[in-house]
Amino acid sequence: MSSVHFDGYPHVICAQQFSRKWLEEEFLPLTDEMEEIFKLGGCEVLKGKRMFSFFYQPSTRTRISFQMAMEYLGGRTVFATENAREFSSARKLETLRDTFLVINRYRPDAIVIRYDHDIGAKFAADVSRAPVLNAGDREPGQHPTQALLDLRTIFKCRGAIDGLKIAMVGDLDKGRTVRSLSYLLGKFSGIQLYFVSPANTGMGEDIKMYLHKHEVPFAEHTDLRVVAPEVDVIYQTRAQTECGTLLDMSEGYFIVDRTITGLMKKDAIIMHPLPRVDEITTDVDDDKRAVYLTDQIDSGLFARMALLKIILAPDA
Amino acid sequence: MSSVHFDGYPHVICAQQFSRKWLEEEFLPLTDEMEEIFKLGGCEVLKGKRMFSFFYQPSTRTRISFQMAMEYLGGRTVFATENAREFSSARKLETLRDTFLVINRYRPDAIVIRYDHDIGAKFAADVSRAPVLNAGDREPGQHPTQALLDLRTIFKCRGAIDGLKIAMVGDLDKGRTVRSLSYLLGKFSGIQLYFVSPANTGMGEDIKMYLHKHEVPFAEHTDLRVVAPEVDVIYQTRAQTECGTLLDMSEGYFIVDRTITGLMKKDAIIMHPLPRVDEITTDVDDDKRAVYLTDQIDSGLFARMALLKIILAPDA
Amino acid sequence: MSSVHFDGYPHVICAQQFSRKWLEEEFLPLTDEMEEIFKLGGCEVLKGKRMFSFFYQPSTRTRISFQMAMEYLGGRTVFATENAREFSSARKLETLRDTFLVINRYRPDAIVIRYDHDIGAKFAADVSRAPVLNAGDREPGQHPTQALLDLRTIFKCRGAIDGLKIAMVGDLDKGRTVRSLSYLLGKFSGIQLYFVSPANTGMGEDIKMYLHKHEVPFAEHTDLRVVAPEVDVIYQTRAQTECGTLLDMSEGYFIVDRTITGLMKKDAIIMHPLPRVDEITTDVDDDKRAVYLTDQIDSGLFARMALLKIILAPDA
């Protein structure tokens, strides 16, 4: 395997670090192998390997996906916490650095981190001997393993990435998943992006600059009904609110409902990183094009299994 | 085993689902087998089986009982969280549904849930392929595994259930344990119940209706001293307060103390689901009739081992 | 092994319980054996042994150290919680007693506890059949395994304990680590202690009385620059504040920085129990005399491995 450890960098920190070559020739084929292993009930390729799971905020879904990826490869999560947070504000990154220096003394084989402040994973990786896997920056930031699983989901459902028209919908300026996915899509050809959001939560300028540089055309919209008939993928995201209120519908049309599914292509797909609040109505769940509770979850497991396999047993 | 999976329903959600026949012919004998296995240090009958433990609020006692039940049968708890809660109020059940659809993709063999809102376990079970075990609804609600262990405790200490006089004491309207136990006792013969509580926290009308229908006589009291000499079981419950204050003693006599033990029959027993605050004085703990820190805990382990055995290895 | 279980007492509760003979003849040599085992990747001497980890407040560092100690000896942590706390104030110790009676029914081989109120570990041990290991009292209180690892760190770095001059710096009146370490040092000869702190956070009178009784001379200072050239060990502690502010520098000189390292002996060492805030500047970390992120962490693992080995497999 030529690019073990991502060309010498042993950590998974941001979407930019992956080359198209690696994505196509190593990552995607390996996720299929992982799917086979899962269907067979797992394997023992990571037997004896120890993973730490350090979450500075609870995250049931991402944490379980990483732990089950380790489980189905025969490795073990020997320490997990959702309470890693120690101080409320000051000197947080210095404390994170100390923490990673300390836990490396126990010789873990991998450390999964979700940090709640700044870009902690990058900072942690800089002092870590053990490979660090970023399980999600604080928003806005990145969520690289989500981007990889999203790419894998699209590839499996559509058979290719090149040439696709993809709508990203919702609170785009804070959404780490759409930000990371944009970085990955920028490596492919013929992609057209549609950003559908209220004006004040549009996609960040840094991502737009990146897309310009990589010659990925994008357009900004406020009505998903206009975009739905055009696209191959609708990637809906959660309004970044804890109160469950809808996006302000007076500003446009941002939810995926039966109206939208009625407008979509037959072979398009609907994705969502979860948790969902109101932005996809539940009567859409049984639509065959809705993959957020099925294929997208499975691809999450297979993508993380693939990453752990590459990092912890590259030659096995 | 005739009624594997409780007559086709693979989940453990509420006390009503268990038939007297199943309780007497399968459950209670199996708990004795489980006791033998525990005394021998455990077995491997659930080797390779994976349990998830999803608690929407911390609960040391119930969580450890389930996990140790799995442990002593050779199975494993591969994911546990006490922080499953995600949103504070709106759309909670929709989110729970999504969560259970997601975690089922990882193919767990069983999922234990304690939910903090409404009757989440039932709702979760409706979408779950993996068997769901209810580790306690929000109060008032149910706690079916507690009812099963309570029944087993009574049966082991008294040799039978039929014909017993049982006092339930304390905050009965909110107490999920006494509610679930009442449902089970309604299936037996000759039971007489004594509800001892302040007037404003009496047993709920739904339970009283159920008891009427099953011809279980009950009486309501405010003085445990009157009831104590009559009964075979005193089932004390915790005042549903976090501040540790006593029940209002001006309204009656509701605590179990030396006065009460002095009045009780020699072969009666004292039970409590724990945690205890003040409602049983600690000088009662060494009384041989007090089983809340001994037999009742053990029966909890054996009852949960029996359930897991029935669900995960019915033919082994 | 003559003093298995610390002369008949099977728990690890406070620093006073260890004799100099045990420390020198059993504990310290055993930590070296543990270091060898760790370097070889672990052993199976505790195979089948089950540890519970009960934390009444989160503590990533101490919890991971205990769990990895069990891991590298082949044992398992079968239940861990950082949410053991149940009631906010009243009846806490009674509830703790009930909890320990309950969890002992599951026959754990050891129970690690960090309590958040009073001296819970001692109280828990009084009712526990399983050995209890105190992972830190609420401050002020004790942290005996920290004291043991600190002693081991000093011994390994300096070759002896007798005759050393040791500065303890910072918030001494609340610091459980310096309190426990003082108890251990009182058992050795020729020790001289320097307490460097603001006047209002000086070392507690109980410790001073103990040192007088054991003829350990100590002096109190407010300027670490005066003390630094004299001592063999600087044991810095964290200001007991969550806000990350420095100790009031107008009252003296209490931080370890390049000024201090410039004054220190070449073979002195700098220790800290972590987490660190500002009291050691990060530019000191690469000084060879700084052991708080390296040897001190390692000694923590080896010390806890040694304790678990002594308690759970004394004859293996």
> Tens of pLDDT along C148-199?
999 999 999 999 999 999 999 998 988 889 999 999 999 999 999 999 999 8
Would you say how long chain B is, in residues?
Answer: 316
Cis bond leading into C275, ω under 30°? yes
C-alpha–C-alpha distance, residues A246 and B35, integer Å: 53
**Whole-angstrom distance, CA of residue C244 vs CA of residue C230:** 29
Residue C303 belongs to some domain of the structure: yes
Cis? peptide before B140, omega within 30° of 0: yes
Judgement on whether residues A185 and A224 belong to the same structural domain of the protein: yes
Q: Has B289 been annotated as catalytic? A: no
- B276:C94 CB<8 A: yes
- Listed in sequence order, the residues at least 6 apart from A299 whose beta carbon sits closer than 8 Å to its beta carbon are A31, A149, A150, A152, A153, A156
B51 and B91 together in one domain: yes
Name the interface residues of B facing A (CB cutoff 8 Å): 50, 52, 54, 78-79, 81, 83-84, 86-91, 94-95, 97-99, 101-103, 105-106
CB pairs under 8 A between B and C: 63
Ranges of H-type helices in chain C: 5-8, 20-22, 28-39, 60-72, 92-104, 120-125, 144-158, 176-185, 205-213, 224-227, 258-263, 295-312
**Distances B100 to A85, A296, B77, C152 between C-alpha atoms, Å:** 27, 15, 17, 49
- Does one domain contain both B68 and B171? no
Residue of C nearest to A54 (CA): C60
Tell me, yes or no, if B266 is annotated catalytic.
no
Confirm whether A61 is a catalytic residue.
yes
| DSSP β-bridge partners for residue C112 | C53, C133
* Helix C60-72 vs helix C144-158: crossing angle, to nearest 10: 70
Highest mean pLDDT of the ranges A4-8, A171-175, A248-252, B130-134: B130-134
The partner residue sitting opposite A101, judged by closest CB among C58, C82, C293, is C293
Cα–Cα nearest to A178, from A189, A190, A166: A166
Cβ-defined contact of A67 to B78 (cutoff 8 Å): yes
* CB distance B254 to B228 below 8 Å: no
Which residues in chain A have their CB less than 8 angstroms from residue B88's CB? Answer: 242-243
Under DSSP, is residue C37 helix (H, G, I), strand (E, B) or coil? helix
Q: Which two tokens stand for residue C301?
A: 């693992």
> By the 8 A CB rule, do B195 and B221 touch?
yes
- CATH code of A93's domain: 3.40.50.1370
- Going by C-alpha positions, the residue among B123, B120, B128, B78 that lies closest to residue B103 is B128
**Span B14-24, average pLDDT:** 94
What residue type is assigned to position B42 of the chain? G
Contact A242, A185 (CB under 8 A): no
**Shortest CB distance from C98 goes to which of B82, B278, B293?**
B293
Question: Phi/psi zone of residue A91: left (φ > 0), alpha (ψ -120 to 50 degrees), beta?
Answer: left
Give the integer Cα–Cα distance in Å for B146 and C24. Answer: 50
One-letter amino acid at A56 equals: Y
The token pair at B126 is 């409706």
- Which CA distances in Å does B305 have to B38, B39, B74, B146, C13? 9, 13, 11, 13, 34
Using a CB-CB cut-off of 8 Å, the residues of chain B touching C104 are none
Task: Report the C-alpha gap between B177 and B199 in whole angstroms.
Answer: 19
Q: What residues of A are in contact with residue C297 (Cβ under 8 Å)?
A: 102, 105
Q: Helix, strand, or coil here: A16?
A: helix
Alpha carbon distances (Å) from B184 to A114, B48, B150, B163, B309:
45, 33, 10, 14, 21
**CA distance linking residue B299 with residue B152, whole number of Å:** 6
CA distance to partner chain C, nearest, from residue B54 (Å): 13
What's the order of all strands across the beta sheet hosting B110-114?
B76-81, B50-55, B110-114, B132-134
Same-domain status, C190 and C121: no
Is residue C161 assigned to a domain?
yes
Q: Where are the alpha helices (DSSP H) in C168-257?
A: 176-185, 205-213, 224-227
Would you say residue C46 lies in a domain? yes
Residues B218 and B119 in one domain: no
| Chain C interface disruption, residue of A79, A92, A117, most C CBs within 10 A | A79
**Residue A98's closest chain C neighbor by CA?**
C293
> Does residue A263 contact residue A228 with C-beta atoms inside 8 Å?
yes
CB B63 within 8 A of CB C75: no
Which has more confidence, C252 or B112?
A: B112
pLDDT in tens, chain C (316 residues): 334 467 678 999 999 999 999 999 999 999 999 999 999 999 999 999 999 999 998 888 999 999 999 999 999 999 999 888 766 555 678 889 999 999 999 999 999 999 987 788 999 999 999 999 999 988 778 899 999 999 999 999 999 999 999 999 998 988 889 999 999 999 999 999 999 999 888 999 999 999 999 999 999 999 999 999 999 999 999 876 544 444 566 778 999 999 999 999 999 999 999 999 889 999 999 999 999 999 999 999 999 999 999 999 999 8
Residues C149, C78, single domain; the answer is no
The average pLDDT across B179-198 equals 96
Q: Do C60 and A81 touch (CB under 8 A)?
A: yes
> Residue B183 and residue B211: Cα distance in Å, rounded?
8
Nearest-angstrom CA–CA distance, B133 and B300? 14
Q: pLDDT tier at B3 (50, 70, 90 boundaries)?
A: very low
- Both B133 and B181 in one domain: the answer is no
Question: From chain C, which residues contact B within 8 Å (Cβ)?
Answer: 50, 52, 54, 78-79, 81, 83-84, 86-91, 94-95, 97-99, 101-103, 105-106
Q: Is A289 exposed, middle or buried (0-12, 13-18, 19+ CB in 10 A)?
A: middle
Say how many C-beta atoms besides its own lie within 10 A of residue C97's C-beta: 21
Lowest-confidence region among A2-6, A159-163, C288-292: A2-6
Report the pLDDT value the prediction gives residue C222, as an integer from 0 to 100: 95
Q: Report the distance separating Cα A18 and Cα A13, nearest Å.
A: 10
- Beta-strand relationship, C50-55 and C76-81: parallel
Contact between residue C268 and residue C290 where contact means Cβ atoms under 8 Å apart: no
HEC string of B19-49? CHHHHHHHHHHHHHHHHHHHHCCCCCCCCCC
Asked whether residue C202 is domain-assigned, the answer is yes
User: Which token pair is C217?
Assistant: 């001379």
**pLDDT tens digit sequence for A296-312:** 999 999 999 999 999 99
Query: Do residue A9 and residue A98 come from a single domain?
Result: yes
The Cα C120–Cα A149 span in angstroms is 46
Interface test with B, best of C76, C86, C117 (most B CBs within 10 A): C86
Q: CA A155 to CA A147: how far, in whole Å?
A: 12
| Domain contains C316 | no
Extract the tokens encoding B274.
């724990």
Are residues A52 and A127 located together in one domain of the fold?
yes
Return the number of CB contacts < 8 Å for A and B. Answer: 63
Instruction: For residue A50, list chain C residues with Cβ-Cβ distance below 8 A.
Output: 71
Residue C201 is a catalytic residue: no
* Predicted pLDDT of residue C177: 94
The residue behind tokens 């005394």 is B39
DSSP single-letter state for residue C294: T
Residue B13 CA to residue B121 CA, distance in Å, equals: 6
The band of A148, judged by pLDDT with boundaries at 50, 70 and 90, is very high
The residues with which A114 forms a beta bridge, in sequence order, are A55
Joined tokens for residue A121: 């994973």
A258 is catalytic: no
Cα distance between residue C191 and residue C211, in whole Å: 10
- Are A138 and A266 contained in the same domain? no
Domain that holds residue A118: 5-143+297-312
Which pLDDT belongs to residue A249?
A: 66
Interface test with A, best of C38, C64, C274, C305 (most A CBs within 10 A): C64
Torsion of CA B160, B161, B167, B173, to 10 degrees: 150
CA pair distance B144, C161, nearest whole angstrom: 59
User: B133 and B202: one domain?
Assistant: no
What is residue A12's DSSP assignment? B
Q: Provide, as residue numbers in chain C, all residues whose Cβ is less than 8 Å from the Cβ of B298.
A: 105
C271: helix, strand or coil: strand
pLDDT at B241 over 80: no
Does the distance separating the beta carbons of B99 and A61 come in below 8 Å? yes
- For the record, the structure tokens of A306 come out as 């693939």
Above 80 in pLDDT, residue B128? Answer: yes
Asked if A181 and A16 count as a contact pair (C-beta separation under 8 A), the reply is no
Number of domains in chain A: 2
Which one-letter DSSP state was computed for residue B309?
A: H
From the list C180, C108, C111, the residue with the least C-alpha distance to C140 is C180
CA-wise closest residue to C121 among C131, C130, C129, C132: C132
- Closest-CA distance, C125 to chain B, in angstroms, reads 16
Task: Give the pLDDT band of residue A41 (cuts 50, 70, 90).
Answer: very high
Q: Which residue has the tokens 């006599």?
A: B253
Least CA distance to C48: which residue of chain B? Answer: B41
Which chain A residues have a beta carbon less than 8 Å from that of C275? 86-87, 95, 98-99
Identify whether residues B100 and B208 lie together within a single domain: no
